[in-house]
């Protein structure tokens, strides 16, 4: 029997957006202009994380440019206000891990008490950098079948990935865009979970629960200088975080030999089906500790497996131990000639 337990506890305070590591956060950038194409300086930008109501603020410079950095993955609403213009509200912003989204705002002349609301989905095309990457979101992670529930198997959804992924620290043997296998780094919430083994290869020390993962991004080439530990690729994994709403799930995946058919040849020999029992179970709970300020996420997973194994071997007969191999035969009765 073997067991595996993963316990994760995350606490996110009001200033979490300012404390998060750059490697897992995104940003929104753009320019604010009027109907004639003129830039609008000193416009006030407010980006609101919908799950936590955490607000991030920025002000446009003399050229109308703005950047709101260090934004955790999630859904956002953006509000823009400037003197002499209607307030601009953009809904439907989905920011992925390490994404730089460009949103250019077109303001309309009017009173500040008036507003223009626009709904748009900006997730998808990356226009602000040349990194070759692929994001696998939570829907794919939770809905796609995964034997042994190893989330790292989903790296094969990315073009250019070949090789194999196992369930032990040295079995991440995949290659990205022709690089050597096992020359990769794996980041878990901005912290490297890879460790060197031999000959420049890396192993993996963390196998997170599928239900605890929000999304991950595989960086295949031209990734930023902040990732300096890898010769081949970087797998950037982000855990779910808590919010103002309670969320939870519980699961168990069971395999039992009582539901299996015996092997044809084992039946022929009169050999019973060997016992095999595997149970993988756990759960995830997240929610608020203090509304709009402090949140938590806890994940637990355990694996219990019992199996029987059989080995067929032969030992020398009395004649063979005496050096007489004249009666040594194959399984079908044919004599074995020793020259």
Q: How confident is the model at residue 306 (pLDDT cuts 50, 70, 90)?
A: very high
CA quadruple 329, 334, 338, 339: dihedral, nearest 10 = 170
Residue among 103, 320, 296, 140 at smallest CA distance from 218: 140
- How is 244-277 classified by DSSP, letter by letter? SS-EEEEEEEEEEGGGSPPPHHHHHHTPPPPPEE
- Report the C-alpha gap between 301 and 74 in whole angstroms: 24
Residue among 247, 245, 249 at smallest CA distance from 288: 245
Residue 9 above 80 pLDDT?
no
Q: How confident is the model at residue 22 (pLDDT cuts 50, 70, 90)?
A: low
Evaluate whether 116 touches 91 at the Cβ level (below 8 Å): no
Residue-wise pLDDT tens digits, 78-107? 999 999 999 999 999 999 998 999 999 999
Tokens of 172: 């991440």
Residue-wise pLDDT tens digits, 198-237? 777 888 888 999 999 999 999 988 888 788 777 789 999 9
Domains of the chain: 15-119 (2.60.40.10), 132-239 (2.170.130.10), 247-307 (no CATH)
Q: How confident is the model at residue 121 (pLDDT cuts 50, 70, 90)?
A: low
pLDDT of the residue at 124: 55
pLDDT of the residue at 331: 77
313 vs 172: which has the higher pLDDT: 172
Mean pLDDT of 230-249: 91
pLDDT of the residue at 239: 94
Tokens of 26: 């995104």
pLDDT of the residue at 16: 37
pLDDT of the residue at 203: 84
Q: How far is CA 58 from CA 29, 200, 292, in A?
A: 10, 43, 20
**Strand ranges of the sheet holding 132-136, from the earlier edge strand across to the other edge:** 132-136, 213-221, 233-239, 184-188, 191-192
Residue-wise pLDDT tens digits, 267-303? 998 888 989 999 999 999 999 999 999 999 999 999 9
Q: How confident is the model at residue 131 (pLDDT cuts 50, 70, 90)?
A: confident
Global pTM value = 0.77
Tokens of 328: 């040594």
pLDDT of the residue at 330: 84
């Amino acid at each position: 029997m073997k067991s595996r337990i993963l316990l994760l506890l995350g606490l996110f305070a009001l200033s979490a957006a300012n404390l998060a590591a750059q490697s897992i956060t995104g940003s929104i950038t753009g320019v604010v202009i009027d109907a004639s194409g003129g830039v609008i300086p000193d416009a006030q930008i407010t980006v609101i994380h919908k799950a936590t109501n955490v607000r991030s603020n920025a002000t446009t410079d003399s050229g109308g440019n703005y950047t709101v950095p260090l934004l955790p993955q999630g859904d956002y609403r953006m509000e823009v206000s400037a003197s002499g213009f209607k307030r601009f509200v953009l809904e439907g912003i989905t920011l992925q891990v390490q994404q730089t989204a460009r949103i250019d705002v077109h303001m309309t002349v009017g009173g500040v008490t008036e507003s223009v609301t626009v709904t748009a989905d900006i997730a998808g095309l990356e226009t602000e950098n040349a990194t070759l990457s692929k994001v696998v979101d939570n829907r794919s992670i939770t809905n796609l079948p995964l034997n042994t529930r190893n989330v790292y198997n989903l790296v094969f959804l990315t073009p250019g990935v070949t090789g194999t992924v196992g369930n032990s620290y040295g079995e991440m043997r995949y290659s990205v865009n022709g690089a050597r296998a096992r020359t990769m780094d794996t980041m878990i919430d901005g912290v490297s979970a890879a460790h060197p083994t031999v000959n420049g290869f890396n192993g993996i020390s963390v196998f997170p629960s599928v239900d605890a993962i929000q999304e991950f991004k595989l960086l295949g080439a031209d990734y930023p200088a902040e990732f300096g530990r890898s010769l081949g690729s970087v797998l950037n994994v982000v855990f779910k975080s808590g919010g103002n709403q309670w969320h939870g799930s519980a699961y168990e995946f069971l395999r039992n030999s009582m539901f299996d058919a015996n092997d044809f040849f084992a039946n022929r020999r009169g050999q019973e089906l060997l016992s095999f029992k595997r149970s993988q179970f756990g759960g995830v709970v997240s929610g608020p500790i203090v509304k709009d300020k402090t949140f938590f996420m806890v994940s637990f997973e355990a694996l219990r497996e019992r199996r029987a194994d059989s080995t067929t071997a032969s030992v020398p007969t009395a004649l063979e131990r005496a050096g007489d191999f004249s009666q040594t035969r194959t399984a079908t009765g044919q004599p074995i000639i020793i020259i």
